[in-house]
Amino acid sequence: MSAYRDKDPLIHGIQSKIRVVPNFPKPGIMFQDITTLLLDPKAFKDTVDLFVERYKGKNISVVAGIEARGFIFGPPIALEIGAKFVPLRKPKKLPGKVISEEYVLEYGKDCLEMHVGAVEPGERALVVDDLIATGGTLCAAMQLLERVGAEVVECACVIELPDLKGRERLNGKPLYVLVESR
């Protein structure tokens, strides 16, 4: 599901602040740069508010954010809805005991880690990232949370690249985005 209808003017404002940088990080990729959104305090606040409106009062106790741009959007949402913030990180960044989930990249593999004990069984969780492309990272994030018995209520991203079919890869888990970019 994407935000639309009566949220249109806000969405349009947010979308207009996202900068597309061609050929980054490699030739052929049109990179969706959210840093320009962060330079506009109103648009950044609107972005957070749209997620907060959707998730407040839904008994969500965990907001998991994917390193590193999920760290920008996740904490403000967590603070507003009264949830804890759980960083999901690349390998060897989190100190202490972690659980790991490997996932497939276009070429090769990567790994996402979460602290043991950060999340209790039965907790209701959101996963937040700036963007969903193929859905690989979000899938790994959901796996980590489900492995410890949390319920992933929804994945939330600012931007979706629908041509990459990430939504299908989420295996029926709901996805909420503000902006679609084709």
Catalytic positions are: 69, 106
How do beta strands 62-66 and 124-132 pair?
parallel
Residue ranges in 95-124 that form contacts with other proteins under rule CB under 8 A: 95-96, 115, 118
Residue ranges in 48-77 that form contacts with other proteins under rule CB under 8 A: 48, 67-69, 71-73, 75-76
- Kindly tell me which residue out of 8, 12, 39, 59 binds other proteins, with binding defined by CB under 8 A: 39
CB 150 within 8 Å of CB 170 = no
- Total interface residues for other proteins by CB under 8 A: 38
Spatial distance between the Cα atoms of 71 and 43, rounded to a whole number of angstroms: 17
- Kindly tell me which residue out of 3, 18, 60, 83 binds other proteins, with binding defined by CB under 8 A: 83
How do beta strands 124-132 and 109-115 pair?
unpaired
The per-residue DSSP string of 29-54 comes to -EEEETHHHHT-HHHHHHHHHHHHHH
Does 28 help bind other proteins (rule: CB under 8 A)? no
Handedness of CA 127, 129, 131, 137 (dihedral sign): negative
- Beta carbon of residue 100, minimum distance to other proteins (angstroms, whole number): 16
- Kindly tell me which residue out of 14, 18, 50, 78 binds other proteins, with binding defined by CB under 8 A: 78
Stretch that binds other proteins, among 43-51, 100-108, 141-149, 162-170 (CB under 8 A): 43-51
- Kindly tell me which residue out of 2, 35, 59, 100 binds other proteins, with binding defined by CB under 8 A: 35
The per-residue DSSP string of 6-19 comes to GGHHHHHHHHHHPE
The per-residue DSSP string of 113-130 comes to EEETTSS-TT-EEEEEEE
- Beta carbon of residue 35, minimum distance to other proteins (angstroms, whole number): 6
Residues lying near other proteins in the complex (CB under 8 A):
19, 21, 24-25, 31, 33, 35, 38-41, 44-45, 48, 67-69, 71-73, 75-76, 78-79, 82-87, 89, 92-96, 115, 118
